[in-house]
């Protein structure tokens, strides 16, 4: 009779990249869940960014990172404001749902991910460029 009371699964909130950019200018942390290789090729330019892959490359293809929750929990608190992004929005949707189920309270998915960020011409950084400028 009371389905909203009985549902224990938190609902994922998705924000578009324009909202995400605004939130990142406040106190939000950006959690990029792409592979390390994807992250190095380019990521959002924001002061509070972490890379914890949700999927890992293996000889058999991509497999789920079994340590994902432990790794995120060691870096972020369940009460932190967190935006979760990936390449296009699929992995981050799953990662956001998993974080909410694990007790993270203020987690939002970034719809469209890195590709949408680039499409909006928002600032990015590529690690190769960064390394060349420091040498």
The better pLDDT of the pair 91, 9 is held by 91
- Dump pLDDT digits (tens) for 35-49: 999 999 999 999 999
- What is the residue extent of each domain of the chain? 9-124
Q: Alpha-carbon distance 133 to 135, whole Å?
A: 6
* Residue-level pLDDT at 2: 45
Higher pLDDT, 100 or 126: 100
Query: Are the beta carbons of 14 and 93 closer than 8 angstroms?
Result: yes
**CATH pick for 9-124 out of 3.20.20.70, 3.30.40.10, 1.10.10.10, 3.40.250.10:** 3.40.250.10
pLDDT reported for residue 9: 65
CB 72 within 8 A of CB 53: no
pTM, rounded to two decimals: 0.87
Q: Verify whether residue 6 is a known catalytic residue.
A: no
Q: For 16-38, write each residue's pLDDT tens digit.
A: 999 999 999 988 999 999 999 99
Neighbour tally for 63: CB within 10 Å:
11
Q: What share of the chain is helix, strand, coil (3-state, %, to 5)?
A: 40, 25, 35
Which of 24, 84, 86, 95 is catalytic? The answer is: 86
């Amino acid at each position: 009779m009371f389905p909203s009371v009985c549902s224990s699964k938190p609902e994922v909130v998705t924000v578009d990249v324009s909202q995400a950019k605004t939130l990142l200018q406040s106190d939000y942390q950006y959690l990029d869940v792409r592979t390390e290789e994807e992250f190095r090729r380019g990521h959002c330019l924001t002061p509070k960014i972490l890379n914890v892959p949700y999927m890992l490359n293996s000889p058999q293809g991509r497999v789920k990172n079994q340590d994902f929750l432990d790794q995120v929990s060691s870096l972020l608190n369940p009460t932190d404001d967190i935006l979760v992004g990936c390449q296009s929005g699929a992995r981050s949707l799953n990662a956001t749902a998993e974080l909410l189920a694990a007790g993270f309270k203020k987690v939002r998915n970034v719809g469209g991910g890195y590709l949408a960020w680039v499409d909006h011409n928002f600032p990015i950084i590529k690690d190769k460029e960064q390394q060349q400028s420091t040498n």
